[in-house]
Structure 1
Amino acid sequence: MSGVVADGFNSSPMWEMIENGLQQPDLKEKAIKSVGAILVITLKNKDGKEQSWVMDLKDKGTVAKVDTPPKNDVQLILKDADFVKMAENKANGQKLFMSGKLKIKGNMMKAASLETVFKQLDPRAKL
């Protein structure tokens, strides 16, 4: 089991996808270039449990599950289910934010770059 998987979180496959994508040097470089920030994503699952992940897309090009979020450029806080929808391109980050389902602490512009990362790191066929 990967270090990014969290029990009870439907987003675990997304984190594995991101982790796998970041192991490819060209994708890692692209993600670092397009984001240039340390993102923390804190999700709450249907049982009310919270878990955070750190995406270092500033220097290292890594993703890790953490208990306490480190210093970061931007933190996104949302429900696990909404994160999955956003990662699958079924929900728009801006709309989630406007409806209060997505909270952002820090650099708003860096938060907007997250959707680009999903598109870049998604191994599924591009249509």
Structure 2
Amino acid sequence: MSDIKIDGFKSSDVLAALAKAFEGYSDEERKAQIKKTNGIFEMRVKNEEGKEGVWTIDLKQTGSVYKGEPKSKANVTLILSDETFTQLAEGKLDGQKAFHDW
């Protein structure tokens, strides 16, 4: 998972864990998740130093998470701070509150 992590981004740990979970899916589980979600999510995350990291969660074609922009057009692009992403992932902040504060 080191290819997903970027130094200085707490969110990369979360995304690396998600990638590892996806890798553990059987083909049937992966296909079911793709059918259920049917979307490509581009995550644009800024850290405290103002640097941007980009990751893609592809639940439309490959059932994978990878570092970088989507290989196909994203259905959803989220632009958020590293802190906000981490708080959302940890359940310390709900999406509606995060959107409102932005």
Structure 2, unaligned runs of 5 or more: none
* RMSD, matched Cα: 1.7
TM-score (norm. length: structure 1) = 0.70
| Greater mean alpha carbon deviation, residues 49-58 or residues 1-10 | 1-10
Identity %: 37
Shift of 1:69: 4.9
| Runs of 4 or more above 4 Å deviation | none
Alignment-derived partner of residue 60 in structure 1: 62
Alignment-derived partner of residue 72 in structure 1: 74
Which of 39, 42, 46 is matched with 2:41 structurally? 39
The answer on whether the counterparts of 1:21 and 1:28 sit within 8 Å (CA) in structure 2 is: no
Secondary structure of the 1:7 match is coil
Distance 1:74 1:61 in 2: 15
Distance 1:81 1:2 in 2: 20
Secondary structure of the 2:6 match is coil
Alignment-derived partner of residue 86 in structure 1: 88
Alignment deviations for residues 84-125 of structure 1 (CA, whole Å, 9 cap, x no partner): 01001111011111222xxxxxxxxxxxxxxxxxxxxxxxxx
5 Å matches for 1:1-127?
2-26=2-26, 28-66=30-68, 68-70=69-71, 71-100=73-102
Shift of 1:29: 3.9
Distance 2:91 2:31 in 1: 22
TM-score (norm. length: structure 2) = 0.86
The answer on whether the counterparts of 1:37 and 1:56 sit within 8 Å (CA) in structure 2 is: yes
Alignment deviations for residues 37-81 of structure 1 (CA, whole Å, 9 cap, x no partner): 000000000000001101110111011111x45521010000001
Secondary structure of the 2:74 match is coil
